[in-house]
Amino acid sequence: MIIRDFEPIAIIGKGAFGEVRVCKYKRTGEILAVKKMKKEEMYKKNQILHVRAEKDVLAEANIPWVVELKYSFQDEFYLYLVMEFCPGGDLMSLLINKDILSEDEARFYTAELILALEAVHKLKSIHRDIKPDNILIDMSGHIKLSDFGLSKKIVLLYFYKFFEFNK
């Protein structure tokens, strides 16, 4: 897989060392989000482990509450994460556009966020960067968590709790 397999449509986000574009996958016609990250910047800013954490969580998740990682690949200069595209945008944009959510909308998104976080915790991961920008809205109006660059696995935490419990 190479980046020329994707036809760029629009830039939908920019980050510390990359950007996210809506692209059309030429082989299937599927509309996807392609996160393109500069390797050199990742090394300079010592962010390799953060990028690895994001890729690992997305690859492992396979749950409806987390944006789906379709493919990942790299070339000489960039690392690419190809994910499902959520046409509803993010919760921050929704809040800006609506100004105020109705009580029913607020209850709905809060309930979905709780379920999403519970599902991520069952994967023994902690997101650590929950904010409206990282809560996407899919074509059905449901939320999906994205941007797991600051996430942590909590395997050792469970080990220590088990050890203390059995003293």
Q: How far apart are CA 157 and CA 159, in angstroms?
A: 5
Concerning whether 5 is annotated as a catalytic residue, the answer is no
Could you tell me if 143 and 135 are in contact, meaning their C-beta atoms sit under 8 angstroms apart?
yes
Q: What are phi and psi of 18, to 5 degrees?
A: 180, -165
Q: How far apart are CA 165 and CA 167, in angstroms?
A: 6
Q: How far apart are CA 167 and CA 164, in angstroms?
A: 5
Query: Residues 5, 56, 129, 133: which is the catalytic one?
Result: 129
Q: How far apart are CA 39 and CA 18, in angstroms?
A: 9
The torsion angle over the Cα atoms of residues 155, 161, 164 and 167, rounded to 10 degrees, is -80
Q: How many angstroms separate the Cα of 16 from the Cα of each of 19, 78, 114, 142? A: 8, 14, 28, 27
Catalytic residues: 129
